[in-house]
Amino acid sequence: MVLAPKKLRENWTVYTVNDKRNLLAADRFGYDVLNHTDLSRDKGRSGEINLETLNWGNYDLIVIDESHNFRNNNAKKEGVTRYQRLMEDVIKSGVKTKVLMLSATPVNNRLNDLKNQVSFITEGVDSAFDAQGVASIDLTLRRAQTQFNAWVNLPEENRTTERLLDSLHFGYFRLLDLLTIARSRKHIEKYYDTAEIGKFPERLQPKNIKADIDKENQFPPLKEINRNIKLLSLAAYAPLDYVLEGKKEEYSRKYDQQVRGGKGVLKQADRERSLIHLMRVNLLKRMESSIHSFALTVEKLHSSVGTLLEKIEKHQMSEVEELSIEDIETDSSELDDMMIGRKIKVLIQDMDLIRLKQDLTADHLLLGFLLREAQQVGSLNRPGFTGDC
C-alpha cells in the first residue's frame, strides 16, 4: 500500500494503470493507494477501495509519502488520531508489515519528530535495535536533542558544524545509518550515471535583492513592527490567564482535558498561550502577503478589542447575579453579556478586571498605531482613499 497526501495521489496511481505516462508499465506494479485522510474515515470510498470493508492489517509493505505528516503523536480527547490508527490497525495488526517512509523534512525542530516516525518501523518497541548497538531509541534521541540544544546556545564563533558532529553521541549516528537513506545532489553525481538519468540544471549565482516594504518609506521598518507585535498581549484570546486565583480550580475542572487514558492533562490555558504565539506569527505572515492584508487583520483585532472593552465597562456599571461557571450552560446566548470568550468562555465576574483592562487598553492603542501606519501605505497613489481599509 502507498499512503500519500490526497493532492499527491495521482503521482502514485499512474503507475498502476494502463496509461501513456506510466513509464514503469513493464514492471506490472500492483498496489493500493490511500490518502492520509482515509485513516480518519470508516466509510465511503477512496478511489476504487471501499473503506468500510478494507482489511487494513493485510499489507506486508507500506510506503508513506510525505511521512513528516506523522511526526506528531498528539492525543485526542475523543477517538483516535491518524497516527494511532496507522500504528494499531495497519502496522501492528495482521501480517508483519515493513515500512518505507519518504520525506524531505523528517524533522521540524525536535528529534522527537524522528522518534515518532521510527516507531512505525519498530512497532513502538524502544529496544528494537539493541542488537545493533542502540539500546534505547528514545534515550538516544533525547540525548542527541540535549547535545544539539547545548550547541545552539554556544557563541556564534564556536557554533560550527564540526563542533556539533563531535558533540553528538555515537548512538545517534548508528541509528541514522541503520534507518535512513539520503540522496544529495553530490551523491547522485558521484555514484550514478547522469548520462542515463539526466544531469542537474546548472546553478546560477544567487542575486541578493534587499528591498524596503514600500517605495515611499511610509511603513515603519520591519524590526519596529515586529517589536510592536511582540508587545501585544492579545488578552482577548487568553481569558483563562485573567481568572482570579480563587476561581482557577473551577475553570480547570471545566475545561482541562484528560488524555491518554487519564495519564496526562491537556490544560486549556496552555493551549491559549500557544494560540497567541500563532496569532503573532500570523500577523507577520499577513504582512508578508501584503500591507493591505495586514491592515485588514489588524483592523478586525482593533475592533474586537474595542468591543470587549465596552462590554467590560457595561458589565461593571450593572448589577449582576453571582454565578458559578460549573453551574451554567456556556452555550446559552442569554449569558453572553456576562462572559468573555468564544468556545472557551469565562464569566467577567471571575476575572482580574484591572489587569485585563490594562492589557486590552494597551493592545487597543498598539493596534490603532499599526492600523494607521498600514493604512497610509499607498494612500497617496490611491484615488478616493479615505483612510479606511
320-349 pLDDT tens trace? 667 777 666 666 666 777 888 777 888 889
Mean pLDDT computed over every residue of the chain:
87
Integer Cα distance of 147 and 293 in angstroms: 41
Asked, for residue 212, whether it belongs to a domain, the answer is no
Asked, for residue 231, whether it belongs to a domain, the answer is yes
pLDDT in tens, 215-239: 777 788 888 889 999 999 999 998 8
Asked, for residue 203, whether it belongs to a domain, the answer is no
H or E segment and range at residue 362: helix 353-375
Asked, for residue 213, whether it belongs to a domain, the answer is no
The HSE-up count of residue 6 (CA atoms within 13 Å, CB side) is: 6
- CB atoms near residue 364 (< 10 Å): 19
Instruction: Return the exposure string of 332-355: e unless at least 16 CB atoms fall within 10 Å of the residue's CB, then b.
Output: eeeeeebbbbeebbbbbbbbebee
pLDDT of 387 reads 47
* pLDDT band at residue 111 using 50, 70 and 90 as cut-offs: confident
pLDDT in tens, 258-287: 766 666 677 888 888 888 999 999 999 998
Long-range pairs of 103-111 with CB within 8 A, sequence gap ≥ 24: 103/66, 103/67, 103/68, 104/68, 105/68, 106/67, 106/68, 106/71, 107/68, 107/71, 108/68, 108/71, 110/145, 111/141, 111/142, 111/144, 111/145, 111/148
- Domain match, 150 and 12 both: yes
Asked, for residue 388, whether it belongs to a domain, the answer is no
Strands 339-340, 346-347: pairing is antiparallel
- Domain match, 176 and 226 both: no
pLDDT of 100 reads 96
Angle between helices 353-375 and 222-231 (to 10 degrees): 160
Q: Which residues pair with 61 in a beta bridge?
A: 98
pLDDT of 385 reads 45
How many helices and strands (H and E) does the chain possess?
13, 10
- Domain match, 34 and 156 both: yes
- Domain match, 231 and 193 both: no
* Cβ-based neighbours of 131, under 8 Å, separated by 6 or more: none
Q: Got the DSSP string for 196-225?
A: HH-PPPPPPPP------SSTT--SPPHHHH
Asked, for residue 307, whether it belongs to a domain, the answer is yes
C-alpha torsion angle, residues 321, 326, 329, 331 (rounded to 10): 110
pLDDT of 179 reads 92
Asked, for residue 341, whether it belongs to a domain, the answer is yes
- Domain match, 185 and 315 both: no
- Domain match, 154 and 276 both: no
Query: Is the predicted pLDDT of residue 49 greater than 90, yes or no?
Result: yes
Q: What is the mean pLDDT of residues 163-191?
A: 89
Would you say the C-alpha torsion 99, 100, 105, 111 has a positive or negative sign?
A: positive
Query: Is the predicted pLDDT of residue 361 greater than 50, yes or no?
Result: yes
- Domain match, 132 and 274 both: no
Name the domain boundary from 138, 164, 197. 197
- Domain match, 163 and 227 both: no
Query: Is the predicted pLDDT of residue 97 greater than 90, yes or no?
Result: yes
- SS3 category, 115: helix
Asked, for residue 208, whether it belongs to a domain, the answer is no
pLDDT of 86 reads 96
- Domain match, 33 and 177 both: yes
Integer Cα distance of 22 and 15 in angstroms: 5
Name the domain boundary from 163, 197, 231. 197
pLDDT of 383 reads 46
- CB atoms near residue 132 (< 10 Å): 11
Q: What is the mean pLDDT of residues 87-103?
A: 95
- Domain match, 22 and 98 both: yes
C-alpha cell read off for 310: 465596552
Name the domain boundary from 197, 230, 245. 197
Give the domain range for residue 56.
2-197
- Domain match, 315 and 249 both: yes
- Domain match, 250 and 172 both: no
Integer Cα distance of 337 and 207 in angstroms: 56
Q: Which residues pair with 64 in a beta bridge?
A: 3, 101
Q: How many folded domains does the chain comprise?
A: 2
